[in-house]
A and B are shown apart, each in its own frame.
Chain A
Amino acid sequence: MVSNGDRYINVLDEAEEEFSSVMDDLQRQMDAVVLAAQTAETERLATEEE
């Protein structure tokens, strides 16, 4: 049986877990944007050299 005391603390854990998953997702999105920008930049430079 989960006591009330445990329950209060479980709420904290759940909130943290949820927040952490949102942050992971945002991090992935950010990495993708940066990589896309870098790739575009590399391609642009290659085209210019040609």
Chain B
Amino acid sequence: MNNLEQQNRIELARSPEAIPGGDIWSERLTEAFEKRARTCRMKSYATYEELVREGIGAKRLLHEGGNSTTQIEQLDGIIREAHDAYAQYSEKIERARGARVKGGEEMKARIESIETEIVNIQKLDLSKEEKQTQVKGKIEELQGLAQELPLSLSQKDTIREVSDRARSAVELQEVQAPLIKGVQSVLKYIESENLLDERDDDLEMWKNRNLVHVEQLKMLYGGRFPDALPAHLGYLLMNMDTRLDQARSMVGRTDTFQFALKRYSTLVNHFGELVEEVTARVEIAMPGMIERVTGLLQEKQRIQGSLIQIKPEQKEVAQNRIDEINKDVAELQGRLRASVEEHVRQLPPPEAELIPHKQAQWGPYLTEEEAKNAIEALFQANLPDTIWLEELGQVKALVEFYQNRKPGLPDEMQQKVDNKIRYFSLKFTLLRDKLIAGNIISEGMAGLDLGPPPEIEELPVEQKNDETIITSEGELESSPQDQEETTQPRMMESPLESEEIGLDEEAQHEPGEVVYVHRPTGERFIIDTTYNHVALPSPPQMMISRERLIASLPIQDLQKPEKVEAAVELLLKRRDEEIRLMKDLITRGPFEVIQEILHMPFSDFENQDQFTSEVGAYMKQEGIKINGKSLKYIHEGITTYLAELGYKATADGRLVGEVLSDGIKFRLST
């Protein structure tokens, strides 16, 4: 690089777009501080305002009641103290703000000065090594300043990691670019920190909204809450807790968090509507009753709060009043509870998505149409494709889980499991069709066979005749004869491959049956049909169709070397086909990362840790969100597939395939 080029790079680095400077860092700090200050101030002001308002109200009542001026003066004193306390609090906030602004200014000035110093180091008449050492020192200082920002520990770790990467790059004599990237990555994470705050706020908001309704229901339901709640409300409460926990655990993951929040907020809304509905009905059935109970409970709370401060002779009066209130409330709440139970029974059942999975079943509980509507309503959520892909994998895994669990269970359990399988199969089919329609997955890659859903046994005969069974292919089958046909597992149908290997599409193969597959060129392969499909670990893109497996299974009956060559050729073709499919996926968006994987030396696949750290770092750098678990799946998926093709990676990064024929091992190497 000549001087002019170097100068240009430095200038580029100095431009505001290329290298965010200290002012942005300082801005982030300001934002975090102001946000917290605003929240604190609002909360405190609300407390203060409520107290003062209550005090003024009490004064007026005492005045109207002709009470002694002593008590009114006492209230005046309390109100004055509240004014003073709030003024002092405001002052403290202002002082903290002043200190922060000063600190922020200092930090900004220092960061800007470091940038200038780095640029100046480039201009110095020093050896390359000396320049690198100096720049490394500056990066360390930047890293130290980043530690001053109000970030979580994990994000500080990330900053450290980014700086380490920048430092390694410095050692590779690429000074400026990695520094810019490092700083940009740090800023990206700082931004995501702000996002995290917002997400916490979102959850908090929904939680608080929910609490209002929980309290309302608690008041109606009395001391037996929540154990004795009608099942309908009990399930909802339990499910909301689960969803809230899920959403909390996903705060750091953009896509899945949105999904979890959506689910939680839907439940909260639904629960709120139910409680309002029940309250309104109870109100009509028992006018004024809710108000009476609320009033009594408030009075009790007030008395309890004052017990420690009143004179001993007044204590007995207060305690007697509390006892009276308890008695009245118990009696009134007993009547309210009966009314709530009656009205809850009259409400329609919640939609499938709003109740726990163990209830998410049609048959006795929901009709298929209701389940379908509920699932489709869920799809209305405007979420990124990656979430739906993840969901597809999860739903499929659930179906398979229940299918595996079913054998050997008692009859009544089997029926329950059947309901689950039916529900999740429907969800899978609908979701898969949605993804195909949206061009998110290709039909070929979506050819996952779940097997037919179990028949519904618990419905009355007249309903059963009209029942629409949804096959694994997503088709609606309405006649019993058609249903019969779908009980045989169906394979994914890929016209290209079926034609190429001469597979008889009409034939129904029993598991384990030996089947001959003919290629148009005349070769005949013996295959094993034990597997209907090979389900690699999710994500679903890693599913491999039965046909592709068939074509890559060990070839046992080839007698001549030329046939082995043909087999090897086929093997290679299959691998290329798989890569083509992967590339197809890549161009569709969510798994751009595979593109990078495909360019990695295959030896990297052998070490999963190395794989995940390399690919993870790449994705982080590119701003692609993916978690470690998905990376592990991708790794497992690729290695399993390669192994099934008969390939393994060698230490020097080549890919080696082995084919056995008459005891002779034929080797193929990339």
| Closest Cβ neighbor of B96 among chain A residues | A11
Contact A32 B306 (CB under 8 A): yes
Contact B71 A41 (CB under 8 A): no
Contact B58 A26 (CB under 8 A): no
Residues of chain B within 8 A of A18, CB atoms compared: 89
Contact B150 A9 (CB under 8 A): yes
B32 within 8 A of A: yes
B47 within 8 A of A: yes
Contact B93 A26 (CB under 8 A): no
Contact B36 A12 (CB under 8 A): yes
B40 within 8 A of A: yes
| Closest Cβ neighbor of A1 among chain B residues | B147
CA distance A39 to B62 in the complex (A): 12
CA distance A9 to B29 in the complex (A): 10
Number of interface residues of A (CB under 8 A): 33
Contact B96 A37 (CB under 8 A): no
In the complex, chain A residues 1-34 whose Cβ is within 8 Å of any chain B Cβ:
1, 3-6, 8-9, 11-13, 15-16, 18-20, 22-23, 26-34
CA distance A12 to B107 in the complex (A): 20
B103 within 8 A of A: yes
Binding site for A on B (CB under 8 A): 29, 32-33, 36-37, 40, 43-44, 47-48, 51, 54-55, 58, 62, 65, 67-68, 71, 74-75, 78, 81-82, 85-86, 88-89, 92-93, 95-96, 99-100, 103, 107, 147-151, 302-303, 305-306, 308-311, 314, 317-318
Contact B318 A35 (CB under 8 A): yes
Contact A26 B82 (CB under 8 A): yes
Binding site for B on A (CB under 8 A): 1, 3-6, 8-9, 11-13, 15-16, 18-20, 22-23, 26-37, 39-42
- Which 6 pairs across A and B sit closest by C-beta, in order of nearness? A5-B150, A32-B309, A11-B96, A31-B306, A15-B92, A19-B89
The 27 sampled A-B contact pairs (Cβ below 8 Å) are: A4-B148, A5-B32, A5-B33, A5-B150, A9-B33, A15-B92, A19-B44, A19-B47, A19-B85, A23-B44, A26-B78, A26-B81, A26-B85, A27-B51, A28-B309, A29-B74, A29-B78, A30-B51, A30-B54, A31-B309, A33-B75, A34-B302, A35-B310, A35-B314, A36-B311, A39-B318, A40-B67
Residues of chain B within 8 A of A34, CB atoms compared: 58, 62, 302, 306
- Given A12-B33, A26-B51, A30-B75, 14 more A-B residue pairs with CB atoms under 8 Å apart are A4-B148, A5-B29, A8-B96, A8-B100, A15-B96, A18-B89, A23-B47, A26-B78, A29-B78, A33-B78, A34-B58, A34-B62, A35-B318, A40-B67
Residues of chain A within 8 A of B147, CB atoms compared: 1, 3
Nearest CB in chain A: distance from B107 CB, A:
8
CA distance A27 to B92 in the complex (A): 22
Residues of chain B within 8 A of A39, CB atoms compared: 310, 314, 317-318
With A12-B36, A26-B78 as known contacts, state yes or no: A35 contacts B96, CB within 8 Å: no
